[in-house]
Chains A and B, each alone.
Chain A
Amino acid sequence: MSDLYKKTICELSKLLAKKEISSLELTKSYLDRIKKLDPSINSYILRCEENAIKDAKRADKTIETGRDITQLTGVPIALKDIFITKDIETTCGSKILKGYIPPYNGTVVQKLIDAGSVLLGKLNMDEFAMGSSNEHSAFGAVKNPWNKNMVPGGSSGGSAAAVSAGLCAASLGTDTGGSIRLPASFCNIVGLKPTYGRVSRYGIIAFASSLDQVGPMTFTVEDCAIVLKTIAGHDPNDATSLNEPVPDYTKYLKKDIKGLKIGKPKEYFIEGIDPEIVTKIEQGIDDLKKLGAKIIDISLPHTKYAIPAYYIIAPAEASSNLARYDGIRYGHRSKKLSDITELFENSRTEGFGSEVTLRIIIGTYVLSSGYYDAYYLKAQKVRALIRDDFKDAFKKCDAIVAPVTPTPPFKLGENKADPLKMYLADIFTISVNLAGLPGISVPCGFTKKNLPIGMQLIGRPLDEGMLLHIGYAYEQANAWYKRRPEYE
């Protein structure tokens, strides 16, 4: 069967169930593509060929017996290398974890295995998920399949590029300040950051624990709903996971959005945004109107303070989380060590890349005695103001529409030397993490140079269903996902 790589989870699961293809055939076709095509994209850090063949054979057996089949049974997926995978090397994009073989599976990984999916490999990412371009990886930058001179976005850049390039049927990423939604928008795929606590973080290498969240990265909104329903739910191993029932998210996929109120925040349509982004988002908003939604002007007055608050809170939490990399229990140990202090210092200095080092320094500074109140406590208070902005806005609307990024995909190297310039790429995604809300990026068109643009929908806590509903309605009317990059 040709063009299997263009098929969605939904289409593949039907072919598998009808036994028109086997998971083994499907898996081998992906493995061949990865081998042949990924060297020019660099989306995989590790290919798990043996493991994938084993998973596929197991899935085929399940399909044969006809019991316990899910829509993911036999479907080949890949994971950002931040997911702890038992007996499979997990690096988090860092030299400091090279060679680390976890002794257990994280909760989400176990759920995906239980659902019968096939793991093709581990995907490239910015080191410890710190970055917006995937250039801060110890395993080299990832290229955008739509234009190899451009970044795929980050930090889940490998995940976005691999799906977009047809090198896996779906992937998972993590989003601390935009790391799912931004690369999804840069690569013409769907990316959802669920409500904080909706998905377990157990077995996800921690960056900023009060902000990190796992989410699906897929071709379509329907696929996104399928993956979310598989991975969501309470987990006793993650004390911050929410003990709330998990709805069948596919039930929200309706074409009718008549009467829904969608807020348009004036602070997200300001000067300085690329005009092509504005045009496409406005067009998207018009389409939502045509589908019956009511657009309401709203204000999120503290928006401009989100990046400064985030760049205190996230590095602070990271500096604490990354203290565990000490060269003793796992990961890189320096050869230059005469005493224990040198062991710590040299192992960490050699193991961490420059962006991670910078954030550890900033984080340690804002938490240090004498500066804590001025920076960290202040940022936590501003975080509350940002959350309250959304609370007020959601009194007037059911969801919020906004751009995902202020620019289309930028050139490799363009922002790498200037961290502040890079941070600004997250200006429209970061507030959502601070407030703990769900947000989705849905493809909404292309620039004149044929680079993808995404539209963001933001929802109330635990209202992923609303985002899937609106996203699905929009996607049915505007099937941008059918366009695929010609990078081969």
Chain B
Amino acid sequence: MLSLPLLALLLGCDTKDDPFRPEVTGVPHVTNLGELAVTAADTIENEYDPSFSGNGSVLYTELGAPENPGVIGGASFEFVGTGGCVQIVMDPESVFWAMDMDPNADESDYLYEDNFQDDGDADLLGGLSAYYTGSPGVEIGSFEATYTDPMGVDHTLEFNECEASGYGGTPDAHPGRGYPETCVIDTAERVGVKFTILARTFSLPIDDSVLNLAVGVFETDKRRGSCQAFTVDECFFRDEARSGETAPGSTEDHAYFPAMEDAFCSGPRDLNRFCEENPDICGDPRSEYSY
């Protein structure tokens, strides 16, 4: 008698067919990329509008959904402290822009919606490998530890040194989907010490439930006593939506991406033209109902 309503309530907890649940594709939800060499600063040609096309130690990988929806995945890698400032860059697929809502917008503005279904997001964390609680390639962890004070009260100790800025420069935040993320770690007095970086999955693209991303580590300057990050935007790493080269079950459905990213990096006029010619790839064009 009592069990029927209880069962009815429990049915509400079934998430198997949840439309918001990513599809389990066979692409691993946790991966480790091994040790990345720190790329020399002189490979960054323009400090204020940098791009990186060298082969250096940029790695591409992909992340899928876990079988257990309660588990969070991510990609980890290591680098060795140089004694200087090291900048970590991670670019998740794909590109992100905001359609211009101004009724007077012209071709120099974004006239198409971003296709949000192909965008994923991962958040950067990093610090000394000794503090990392995860098992690389098996399960992700954190850079936190617990301190129990003399009264028996637990407090969290934070060892994350990778402090990213949000979209628009918001301090101590992570930019959103499709947008590259960067942080700088000062490795002074820690030459030869190993650091771990974690790109923790925040969201998988809706279209294929597989998040492609690119990562790299670079030397950067120290001025006036603090590390200076170079500017990173969508065009720093190219073709991050390519399928991971080592992960099994790679998807090959991003053939359009290099052309779209080229158009994006050329500016709104080229992107508008690309979207006009490829209506299935971008979002809807502006209409009078858009604003």
Does B associate with A?
A: no
| Residues in B lying within 8 Å of A, measured CB to CB | none
| Residues in A lying within 8 Å of B, measured CB to CB | none
